Amino acid sequence: MRIPILGLAAALAVTWPAWAVAEPPPPVPAASIHDATLANLIAQALATNPRLKAAQARVAAAQGDVMQAGVLPNPQVSLQTENLAGSGPYSGTRAMETTLGLNQLVELGGKRGSRQAVATAAESRARLDADIVRLDLVRDVRVAHAALLAATVRRTIVEEQRGLAAETARAVAARVRSGHDSAIQEDRAATDLRQAEIEAARAARDETAARRSLELLVGGPVPPLDPAVLRDLGPTLPAAAGGNTPDVARWRAEVGRTRATIAVERARAVPDVTVGAGVRRFNDGRDTALVLGVTIPIPAFDTNRGGIHRAYQESTEAEMELDRATRDQDTALAIARDRVAVARAEAETLAGQVVPGAEQAAAATRDGYRQGKFPYLDVLDAQRTLLAARLTLVAAYQDYHQSRADLDRLTGAEEAQP
């Protein structure tokens, strides 16, 4: 008669993961926010991600535009023959005149310098776009890393809960057979066991999915992770964060590019001059003479008014986008900082007060059960409360790491670097 009671008490005293009941860790240096495994995963993702490689290729293409923008127009060689195969004295080739010339287009209005300014600004924007892609990738890896850590811990917890439910079901069945509990209690214990098995299977699937998501980001297999990293909250946030974030800097560069484009379009309204020089040979006397020429377009119809208007409107659009990005930055940073602070406070409260309190309540209920003060359902309720508290703590840790990754992405902070 005592054996079932002792068996149930032993089942209810299963040791839970040490990381979940430990006191909150002391503050740690910023460098420990990412362990070596995470740093390696980030480096692997940066080396293999096709989206980042595409962004880097766009930077290289922009560098080609910078090279090309400063190139002078090519000179032109012309060959012209006159007074050939005519009538009278111009029949045959006796009166033929042949001119060999060299022409050069001379750009006026600062066209070359304006093109170089546009190309340089476009290259700067492409570099910032690549930086944004890199920061997005680092953020995504950190979020997926935290998700995998949380999924691993959740699987461990629910698997232990399944073992506890199995031990409880066996102990209750023995008590039913001995006549100390009704069959209804056995049905309840069996139902708890089936539910625990379902939760364990779901947790295993979630862990597999989280691992595959991280492997997709890093482009390769993910080594075993240390679940203790999940409760490493790192240092508290500085008093202020913000400034010229990557997204705002990108639009500043775009404003610079559009303003340089205005200068290009205005320069196109200035006609270019073509100068030429050559040598003319007269066939009848075998004489030669120097030929000089200048060609100047008359801006009677095309003054590039449409191009200038378009450039001004595009510059206005870029300035409005910069203003929008600046406002969005202020809002997003405030929200992200609040989320990080709330998630950190929640995790610290759960780890320092809620989970220990649930542990004490569960232990007291187990002791009362051994002394015959509580029915076993009270013990199971206490264990469920403890399980829920631990799972909530895991969610809080995950939310903190993901919120911190989002904040570092917005600010381009050094913590986001591998």
Average confidence (pLDDT) over 69-94: 82
What's the rounded Cα separation, in Å, for the pair 314 and 407? 31
- 8 A C-beta contact, residue 293 and residue 275: yes
Average confidence (pLDDT) over 163-178: 76
Residues 6 or more apart whose Cβ sits within 8 Å of residue 7: 167, 170, 171, 174
Closest CA to 339 of 414, 407, 286, 258: 407
CA atoms within 13 A on the CB side of 256: 17
What's the rounded Cα separation, in Å, for the pair 406 and 418? 15
Average confidence (pLDDT) over 86-96: 74
Most confident of 190-199, 314-323, 329-338: 314-323
Provide the pLDDT confidence category of residue 205 given band limits of 50, 70 and 90: very high
What's the rounded Cα separation, in Å, for the pair 7 and 343? 39
Q: How confident is the model over 3-45, as pLDDT tens digits?
A: 344 444 444 444 444 444 333 333 333 334 445 788 899 999 9
- 8 A C-beta contact, residue 81 and residue 97: yes
Give the three-state DSSP class for 14.
coil
Residue 369 to residues 24, 162, 258, 271, 374: CA-CA distances in angstroms?
30, 21, 77, 98, 5
What local confidence, expressed as pLDDT, does residue 27 receive? Answer: 37
> For a pLDDT cut of 90, what percent of the chain falls above it?
44
Q: How confident is the model over 390-418, as pLDDT tens digits?
A: 999 999 999 999 999 999 888 887 544 43
| 324-330, long-range: CB < 8 A, 24+ apart | 325/247, 325/248, 325/250, 325/251, 326/248, 328/247, 329/242, 329/245, 329/247, 329/248, 329/410, 330/242
Is residue 293 predicted with pLDDT exceeding 80? yes
Q: How confident is the model over 301-321, as pLDDT tens digits?
A: 888 999 999 999 999 999 999
CA atoms within 13 A on the CB side of 380: 21
Phi, psi of 81 (to 5 degrees): -120, 135
Average confidence (pLDDT) over 270-284: 88
Q: DSSP code of 302?
A: -
Give the three-state DSSP class for 81.
strand
Provide the pLDDT confidence category of residue 367 given band limits of 50, 70 and 90: confident
What pTM value is reported for the model? 0.79
What local confidence, expressed as pLDDT, does residue 24 receive? Answer: 38
- 8 A C-beta contact, residue 139 and residue 281: no
What local confidence, expressed as pLDDT, does residue 418 receive? Answer: 38
Indicate the angle between helix axes 376-411 and 305-349, nearest 10 degrees. 150
Mind giving me the DSSP string for 264-291? Answer: HHHHHTSPPEEEEEEEEEETTTTEEEEE
What local confidence, expressed as pLDDT, does residue 84 receive? Answer: 78
What's the rounded Cα separation, in Å, for the pair 275 and 286? 26
What local confidence, expressed as pLDDT, does residue 320 receive? Answer: 95
**295: which strand partners?**
274
Of 55-64, 148-157, 171-180, 376-385, the one with minimum mean pLDDT is 171-180
Q: What average pLDDT is seen over the chain?
A: 83
Average confidence (pLDDT) over 344-353: 91
- 8 A C-beta contact, residue 184 and residue 31: no
